Amino acid sequence: MLKKIDKQIIITFVAVISGISIFWATAELFKKPIEDESYLSLLQFRNSGLSDTSLIDSGKTIELKVEDPPTDYIRKYSKKKVVILYEIRKKIAGTVSKYAAAYKLSPELLLAVINIESGFNQYAISPKGACGLMQIMPTLALDLGVTKSGLFDIEKNIEAGARYLKKLLNKYNNSLTLTLAAYNAGPKTVDMYNNIPPYAETMIYVRSVINQYYDYLLYGNDYF
């Protein structure tokens, strides 16, 4: 009996400590401001390492590299599945290059959004109903001329997501932080606060995409 009571006390204590830790972490998150990132300044930073500094503005296609599957990945999955996943990643890379050029976007930005949104899973569906690689809501998809079933198509999803990102960048004068906040929480919410909404999910999302974007800019886009 005493052991059962002790066990219950320990479980309750751990739960209370966990709750306090989550509350503290969330409070700290809200206290720490997210610095506004200029998309254009990041493009300058990106282009400074390229031989053709007009690459983005000229709309040329940038070749994204997809490395051979690592040996630990081959051990984890069957050879057939590795080949299928590898081919899907190659198709995603090619499609990202295509629409980054079409909408004059950094391909690394598109890859960062896809990575954080869906982890490169073209069939991902969020609890709220967002679909596909770039997690587009069906209602928004209709505005973009894409059916719900089309959201699971790599080409249609990335094209619609890239077009929407470009629209948001134009709306928010190339503020990457506001653009990403609007992509996550919706432009009406960003306009209401005239800033990043004070939602933990949105603040974490903006930081996560920007951090991933920096990683791709600094260390390359070999994301397989």
More confident residue, 16 or 131: 131
Domain that holds residue 8: 1-32
Q: Nearest CA to 109 among 210, 185, 220, 38?
A: 210
The stretch 33-44 carries a mean pLDDT of 57
Please indicate, yes or no, whether residues 7 and 47 belong to a single structural domain of this protein: no
Domain membership of residue 95 (yes or no) is yes
Q: Nearest CA to 200 among 20, 30, 22, 19?
A: 30
Is 197's pLDDT higher than 70?
Answer: yes
Please indicate, yes or no, whether residues 58 and 12 belong to a single structural domain of this protein: no
Residue 152 DSSP class: G
Is 116's pLDDT higher than 90?
Answer: yes
Active site residue 87: no
Q: What is the CATH number of the domain that holds 200?
A: 1.10.530.10
Other CB atoms closer than 10 Å to residue 117's CB: what's the count? 23
Please indicate, yes or no, whether residues 49 and 24 belong to a single structural domain of this protein: no
Catalytic residue among 37, 108, 117, 159: 117
Q: Give the separation between CA 183 and CA 205, rounded to whole angstroms.
A: 10
Please indicate, yes or no, whether residues 6 and 66 belong to a single structural domain of this protein: no
pLDDT tens readout for residues 136-177: 999 999 999 999 999 999 999 999 999 999 999 999 998 999
Please indicate, yes or no, whether residues 88 and 121 belong to a single structural domain of this protein: yes
pLDDT tens readout for residues 42-78: 556 555 544 333 333 333 344 444 444 444 444 444 5
User: Into how many domains does the chain fold?
Assistant: 2
Lowest pLDDT segment from 70-74, 80-84, 111-115, 186-190: 70-74
The mean predicted confidence, pLDDT, of the chain is: 75
The pLDDT score that the predictor gives to residue 191 is: 97
More confident residue, 102 or 61: 102
